[in-house]
């Protein structure tokens, strides 16, 4: 009896020692944005503390901004193959899974609040489920704001006519490239991390990003004009490695999922509140900011109709999903 008790005690101590040796789980979270971008900032002030507090320290979170863990494609591949636990990305997977082009669909929302409502509604759950079915090693947890995209340039850019002949850096995305081309400009695909240098050396005249990104990436230092077209209200997605998440206890999984949704919600609120301040900041830095009038917006919509017609013709999912999004009140 005594021997059995000693043996059992040794097993208990060995198990406890093993757990202690393993220590807390540390997860890497990567993004491709400066820490002032609302999604990056929300990772620091919401995701990290909420996960660490909600798991009582069993999970610690290390956040890496500004492409420290790689560019957007690297982050996507890292989460997909499990070398990175969590990342915030746009849609580097949209060629493989075209439904994700919804993140960059032009002139889809009435305003920023409409976009926020859409991506906190059951529409998000529906797209998330399809995403995981396509990519079983990744869960899509939440949709936050990238920005309402604007065009900037070193050359005069204050009307629709000014696009003609200019060269813009555009993301590796057929929607963005098509918009530039339909507006009479040329498009060159350059990674975000190389964009400042490309603008500074005038490899391209300009680029399209939200004002928040123009500020966080300091593009205002090498651009003179901003045309507030708001042609795309783009999203950023919080993704997690499915093998990592699925092996956690259910309560810890819930903490991570809840933290991701809270992060996105905070980022939407912070981004919407920042737009007027960002516009004034850029003007104070000497950038000429020109609003896009309703008449010019309709002219742009007409000019890019060949692109949107082509997208609707090629993507069977597009009309039902965009109709559902437009119907959200």
| Tens-place pLDDT, residues 74-103 | 999 999 999 999 999 999 999 999 999 999
* pTM score of the predicted model: 0.87
Q: Which domains does the chain have, with CATH numbers?
A: 25-326 (3.40.190.170)
Task: Decide: helix, strand or coil at residue 111.
Answer: coil
Pair 44, 36: CB distance under 8 Å: no
Percentage of residues in the chain with pLDDT exceeding 70?
Answer: 93
**What is the Rg, in whole angstroms, of the alpha carbon atoms belonging to the chain?**
22
Q: What is the pLDDT of residue 159?
A: 96
Give buried/exposed letters for 286-310 (b at 16+ CB in 10 A, else e): ebbbbebeeebbebbeeebeebbee
Q: Is the pLDDT of residue 5 over 70?
A: no
The CA distance from 28 to 240, in Å, is 10
Residue 193: what pLDDT?
Answer: 85
For residues 164-169, give the mean pLDDT: 98
Whether 142 has a pLDDT exceeding 60, the answer reads yes
pLDDT value, residue 13:
36
pLDDT tens, 274-324?
999 999 999 999 999 999 999 999 999 999 999 999 999 999 999 999 999
In whole angstroms, what is the distance from residue 279 CA to residue 150 CA? 11
Task: Please report the pLDDT score of residue 22 as a whole number.
Answer: 53
- 157 pLDDT above the threshold of 90: yes
How confident is the model over 99-115, as a mean pLDDT? Answer: 97
Q: Tell me which H or E stretch contains 193.
A: none
Inform me whether the pLDDT recorded for 18 exceeds 70.
Answer: no
pLDDT at 11 over 90: no
Q: Answer yes or no: is pLDDT of 153 > 80.
A: yes
Residue 181, pLDDT > 60, answer yes
Instruction: Give the single-character DSSP code of 57.
Output: T
Of the listed ranges 46-55, 186-195, 247-256, the least confidently predicted one is: 186-195
- Rounded mean pLDDT of the chain? 93
233, 148 contact by CB (below 8 A): yes
Q: What is the pLDDT of residue 14?
A: 37
Q: How far apart are CA 36 and CA 34, in angstroms?
A: 5
How high is the pLDDT of residue 55? 98
| Rounded Cα–Cα distance for residues 274 and 285 (Å) | 16
| Residue 242: Cβ-neighbour burial (10 angstroms; 0-12, 13-18, 19+) | middle
Using the predicted structure, report yes or no on whether residue 9 has a pLDDT greater than 60: no
pLDDT digits 0-9 by tens, 200-256:
999 999 999 999 989 989 999 999 999 999 999 999 999 999 999 999 999 999 999
Name the nearest CA neighbour of 90 among 239, 207, 293.
Answer: 239
């Amino acid at each position: 009896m005594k021997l059995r008790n000693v043996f059992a005690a040794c097993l208990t101590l060995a198990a406890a020692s093993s757990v202690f040796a393993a220590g807390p789980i540390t997860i890497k979270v990567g993004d491709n944005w400066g820490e002032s971008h609302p999604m990056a900032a929300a990772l620091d002030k919401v995701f990290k503390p909420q996960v660490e507090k909600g798991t009582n320290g069993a999970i610690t979170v290390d956040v890496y901004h500004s492409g420290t863990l790689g560019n957007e494609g690297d982050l996507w591949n890292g989460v997909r193959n499990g070398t990175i636990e969590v990342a915030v990305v746009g849609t580097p997977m949209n060629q493989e899974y075209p439904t994700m082009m919804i993140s960059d669909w032009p002139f889809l929302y009435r305003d920023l609040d409409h976009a926020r409502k859409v991506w906190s509604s059951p529409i998000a759950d529906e797209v998330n489920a399809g995403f995981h079915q396509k990519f079983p090693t990744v869960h899509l947890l939440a949709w936050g704001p990238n920005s309402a995209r604007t065009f900037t340039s070193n050359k005069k850019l204050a009307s629709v006519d000014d696009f003609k002949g200019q060269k813009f850096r555009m993301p590796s995305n057929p929607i963005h490239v098509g918009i530039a081309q339909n507006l009479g400009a040329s498009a060159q695909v350059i990674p975000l991390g190389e964009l400042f240098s490309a603008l500074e050396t005038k490899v391209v005249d300009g680029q399209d990003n939200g004002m928040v990104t123009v500020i966080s990436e300091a593009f205002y230092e090498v651009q003179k004009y901003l045309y507030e077209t708001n042609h795309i209200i783009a999203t950023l997605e919080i993704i997690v490695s499915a093998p990592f998440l699925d092996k956690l206890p259910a309560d810890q999984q819930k903490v991570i999922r809840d933290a991701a949704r809270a992060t996105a919600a905070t980022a939407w609120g912070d981004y919407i509140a920042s737009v007027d301040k960002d516009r004034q900041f850029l003007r104070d830095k000497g950038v000429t900011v020109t609003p896009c009038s309703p008449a010019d917006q309709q002219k742009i919509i007409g000019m890019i109709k060949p692109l949107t017609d082509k997208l609707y013709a090629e993507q069977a999912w597009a009309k039902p999903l965009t109709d559902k999004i437009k119907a959200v009140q």
